[in-house]
Amino acid sequence: MLPPLSLIDTHLHLDAAEFDTERAALWEAAQQAGVRAAVIPAVEPSQWPSQQKRLAHFPALAHAWGIHPCFVDHAHAWAEQQAGSALDDEAAAAVACAALEAWITEHGAVAIGEIGLDRFVTTPTWSRQVVWFEAQLALAKRLRLPVLCHARRAVEAVRIRVRRANLPGGIIHAFNGSRAQAEDLIAHGFCLGFGGAMTHPRANHLHKLAQTLPLEGIVLETDAPDIPPAWANSRPTRRTEPADLVRYAAFLAEQRGMDFDAIVSATTANALRVIPQLQRLFATNPLPCTLERAK
Ligand SMILES: [Zn+2]
**CA of residue 172 to ligand 1 center, whole Å:** 11
**CA of residue 117 to ligand 1 center, whole Å:** 12
Q: What is the number of structural domains in the chain?
A: 1
**CA of residue 225 to ligand 1 center, whole Å:** 9
Is there a domain that residue 181 lies in? yes
Please tell me the predicted confidence (pLDDT) of residue 256.
Answer: 98
Is there a domain that residue 1 lies in? no
| Residue 74 to residue 190: CA distance in whole angstroms | 29
The CATH number given to whatever domain includes residue 210 is 3.20.20.140
Is there a domain that residue 82 lies in? yes
For 255-290, the three-class secondary structure string (H helix, E strand, C coil) is HHCCCHHHHHHHHHHHHHHHCCCHHHHHHHCCCCHH
- What value, to the nearest 5°, has the Cα angle with vertex 26 and ends 23 and 30? 135
**CA of residue 223 to ligand 1 center, whole Å:** 5
According to DSSP, residue 71 is labeled G
Output the pTM of the full model. Answer: 0.94
| Residue 177 to residue 206: CA distance in whole angstroms | 9
pLDDT interval class at 281 (50, 70, 90): confident
Please tell me the predicted confidence (pLDDT) of residue 5.
Answer: 67
- In three-state secondary structure terms, 57 is coil
**CA of residue 75 to ligand 1 center, whole Å:** 16
**CA of residue 245 to ligand 1 center, whole Å:** 15
**CA of residue 1 to ligand 1 center, whole Å:** 30
pLDDT interval class at 287 (50, 70, 90): low
Please tell me the predicted confidence (pLDDT) of residue 258.
Answer: 97
pLDDT tens sequence across 245-256: 999 999 999 999
Domain around 165: 7-285
Is there a domain that residue 100 lies in? yes
**CA of residue 18 to ligand 1 center, whole Å:** 14
CB within 8 Å of 114: residues ≥ 6 apart: 11, 41, 42, 43, 64, 66, 68, 148, 149, 150, 173
Is there a domain that residue 171 lies in? yes
| Residue 40 to residue 225: CA distance in whole angstroms | 12
**CA of residue 145 to ligand 1 center, whole Å:** 18
**CA of residue 257 to ligand 1 center, whole Å:** 29
Taking a C-beta distance cutoff of 8 angstroms, is the pair 11, 39 a contact?
A: yes
Average pLDDT over every residue of 254-271: 97
**CA of residue 85 to ligand 1 center, whole Å:** 30
Ion ligand 1 neighbours (CB, 5 A) are: 114
Its sign, for the CA torsion 222, 227, 229, 232, is: positive
Confidence check: pLDDT of 95 > 80: yes
Please tell me the predicted confidence (pLDDT) of residue 1.
Answer: 44
**CA of residue 155 to ligand 1 center, whole Å:** 15
Q: What is the dihedral of CA 253, 258, 259, 260, to 10 degrees?
A: -10
**CA of residue 292 to ligand 1 center, whole Å:** 31
**CA of residue 259 to ligand 1 center, whole Å:** 28
Is there a domain that residue 292 lies in? no
**CA of residue 41 to ligand 1 center, whole Å:** 6
Is there a domain that residue 225 lies in? yes
- In three-state secondary structure terms, 193 is strand
Is there a domain that residue 290 lies in? no
| Residue 109 to residue 169: CA distance in whole angstroms | 15
Mean residue pLDDT across the chain: 94
Rounded to 10°, the helix 126-143/89-107 angle is 40
Confidence check: pLDDT of 2 > 50: no
| Residue 289 to residue 1: CA distance in whole angstroms | 18
First and final C-alpha spacing in the chain: 11
**CA of residue 140 to ligand 1 center, whole Å:** 18
Comparing C-alpha atoms, which of 43, 50, 95 is closest to residue 67?
Answer: 43
pLDDT tens sequence across 19-73: 999 999 999 999 999 999 999 999 999 999 999 999 999 979 999 999 999 999 9
